[in-house]
Structure 1
Amino acid sequence: MINNYMKKLIVACVATIAFIGLQNNTAEAITQSPVVKEVNLQQLGQQNGLNIYNIEKVNIRPDERLDIEETIQNPIQPKVVAKPTAKTDKETPKIKKEKPAVTLSKKEKDLFARLVEAEAKGESYKGKVAVATVVLNRVDSPEFPDSVTGVIKQVVGDAYAFSPVQNGEINKPASAESKRAVEDALSREDRLNNSIYFYNPEIAEDEWIRTRTVVKTIGNHVFAK
């Protein structure tokens, strides 16, 4: 039995008793005056939100009593919250495959490539893409038909807008390069500042076309708005 003469007096203010140092997994009952009473563990647990069963189990105290200056182990373990994993530079973003801005049927693409072949034969690959871009710019313009086939087969006055359609050169098969140029132009990455005309200044007979604002010259062709 604990010697009552060795115990200290519990002061009237029970609020001075507290559990300190949860991070060190200990709790101390604190007082400032001599006592002749013991502390009831059940009351101590209720005051500090602790389970009496856990206090007894951890500290091996089945008698539910504690000397005022005795240190007991705190059964409550700090709760560890997992932090979300931050994104690293090693993560590879998903790349969405780009689709052509304009979708054409196989037949219409073939007609388109044959026009590019006839109009830009002998020109660089860049020149072929530019001719195809003019056709697409016309499709977008309210001044022209709203389809590739309509633009290619447009009749102006008593003739077709494109001379290869007029003279039959468009009926010849397209090269692989002209087909690729059409696919490239369909991505609409470079619209040539929305140019809707092109001509060879060395052979052009129409004086009106020369009055248009020139945007770029590629090879033998001048591209204008």
Structure 2
Amino acid sequence: MFKKFKGIKVAVFSAAAFFTIGAAAQAQSTHTVENDESLWSIAKDYGVAVEELKSLNNTSSAAVNPGEQITVPQSISENEKDLLARVVHSEAKGEPYAGKVAVATVVLNRVESDEFPNTINDVVYEVSPTGNYAFEPVTNGSINNPADSEARKAVQEALAFEGQGNGSLFFYNPATASNHWIATREETIQIGDHVFAK
């Protein structure tokens, strides 16, 4: 899915991993394909995974035809999208757009990992073994600031990317990280000032 991103190198997209939002498959709607649309653009607009669209519509192709009816699963809630966008905005302000997508993907990957809580809210507000919040914006209160449009767009991209990538569960800035344990994790990619790892 990220392969259709304009201006972003394909290597950037290895920062994500397979994740599925359980509630996404529960409700569905129908979308009538318009000119110049693809499964990728539909997935991005709805905030659902291309791979899920393919599966739900029994196709292995990303090509669609104008007038075709596509079944679209329900995405995560608007509240979850807003929380995720606020995390992205706070954690990745000043980072490249691809890094913002990768930060959102880390949160979504954690939801699907057995090592972390299974909701976006619980992942964002998780307390680490050291007694601190897992995400600095929760600790410093910047999680309460509204997200900008780029952070919201990055969330939609991350949701559409479901089912692809290398499984990033962590990210950190080596120049400011105080916990050196994170550097022992397998690096998946570096984007801007952030190193992503699993």
Q: Which TM bucket (shorter chain)?
A: 0.5 to 0.7
Q: In structure 1, how many angstroms separate the alpha carbons of the residues matched to 2:194 and 2:135?
A: 14
Match of 1:120 in 2: 92
| Residues 116, 128 of structure 1: 8 Å contact kept | yes
Instruction: Give a deviation string over 1:7-36, Cα, whole Å, max 9, x none.
Output: xxxxxxxxxxxxxxxxxxxxxxxxxxxxxx
Q: In structure 2, how many angstroms separate the alpha carbons of the residues matched to 1:184 and 1:134?
A: 13
| Residues 130, 192 of structure 1: 8 Å contact kept | no
Residue among 134, 137, 147 paired with 1:174: 147
Q: In structure 2, how many angstroms separate the alpha carbons of the residues matched to 1:95 and 1:215?
A: 38
Does residue 189 of structure 2 align to residue 216 of structure 1? yes
Q: CA deviation at 1:201?
A: 0.8
Q: In structure 2, how many angstroms separate the alpha carbons of the residues matched to 1:187 and 1:143?
A: 23
- Could you say which structure has the larger radius of gyration? 1
For structure 1, the residue ranges without an aligned partner over 5 or more in a row are 1-91
Q: How does the TM-score come out when normalised to structure 1?
A: 0.55
Q: Identical aligned pairs, as a percentage?
A: 53
Structure with the larger RCO, 1 or 2 (CA within 8 Å, 6+ apart): 2
Residue among 137, 146, 149 paired with 1:164: 137
Does residue 105 of structure 2 align to residue 155 of structure 1? no
Q: CA deviation at 1:169?
A: 0.7
Q: CA deviation at 1:118?
A: 0.2
- Do the aligned partners of residues 103 and 205 (structure 1) sit closer, same or farther apart at CA in structure 2, a change above 3 Å counting? same
Q: Which runs of 4+ in 1 moved over 3 A?
A: 92-100, 189-192
- Do the aligned partners of residues 218 and 190 (structure 1) sit closer, same or farther apart at CA in structure 2, a change above 3 Å counting? farther
Q: Which secondary structure does the structure 2 equivalent of 1:156 belong to?
A: coil
Q: How does the TM-score come out when normalised to structure 2?
A: 0.62
Instruction: Give a deviation string over 1:68-115, Cα, whole Å, max 9, x none.
Output: xxxxxxxxxxxxxxxxxxxxxxxx586454746x72211121111001
Match of 2:160 in 1: 187
Q: In structure 2, how many angstroms separate the alpha carbons of the residues matched to 1:152 and 1:218?
A: 21
Q: In structure 1, how many angstroms separate the alpha carbons of the residues matched to 2:137 and 2:127?
A: 13
Q: In structure 2, how many angstroms separate the alpha carbons of the residues matched to 1:98 and 1:194?
A: 27
Q: Which secondary structure does the structure 1 equivalent of 2:195 belong to?
A: strand
More helix by share: 2
Q: In structure 2, how many angstroms separate the alpha carbons of the residues matched to 1:202 and 1:99?
A: 42
Match of 2:179 in 1: 206
Does residue 91 of structure 2 align to residue 109 of structure 1? no
Match of 1:134 in 2: 106
Q: In structure 2, how many angstroms separate the alpha carbons of the residues matched to 1:99 and 1:148?
A: 21
- Do the aligned partners of residues 140 and 193 (structure 1) sit closer, same or farther apart at CA in structure 2, a change above 3 Å counting? same
- Give me the CA root mean square deviation: 1.9
- Do the aligned partners of residues 141 and 119 (structure 1) sit closer, same or farther apart at CA in structure 2, a change above 3 Å counting? same
For structure 2, the residue ranges without an aligned partner over 5 or more in a row are 1-64
Q: Which secondary structure does the structure 1 equivalent of 2:107 belong to?
A: helix
- Do the aligned partners of residues 93 and 175 (structure 1) sit closer, same or farther apart at CA in structure 2, a change above 3 Å counting? closer
| Residues 99, 187 of structure 1: 8 Å contact kept | no
Q: In structure 2, how many angstroms separate the alpha carbons of the residues matched to 1:104 and 1:171?
A: 20
Q: What letter is aligned with 2:174?
A: P
